[in-house]
Amino acid sequence: MEAVRQQAEFAGTSYSAGQCPASIEATSGFPTYVEGPCNLSYNAGMGNTLEKPGLLVLANGTLTLNGNSEFFGVV
């Protein structure tokens, strides 16, 4: 987990404690690391693509995809 967090920090796709991605598009990247606590709930948009899937680590929280939201990759 620590190595994934460090990779996300280097890639600019890391969210420290108390910071939560505002949109599903903000969860895109390989890897994306969210410390939390976050209750992520999205109703529309796309995280990553079928051609370029991502990796989302949500260390503390929940992820809910509603409506027309899609996430391609591993959570």
Nearest to 35, CA basis, from 55, 18, 56: 18
pLDDT for res 50? 95
pLDDT for res 11? 95
Whether the bond into 37 is cis, omega within 30 of 0:
yes
Continuous H helices in the chain: 2-11
pLDDT for res 73? 97
Q: Cα torsion for 10, 58, 43, 47, to the nearest 10°?
A: 40
pLDDT tens digits, residue range 11-65?
Answer: 999 999 999 999 999 999 999 999 999 999 999 999 999 999 999 999 999 999 9
Where are the domains positioned within the chain? Answer: 2-74
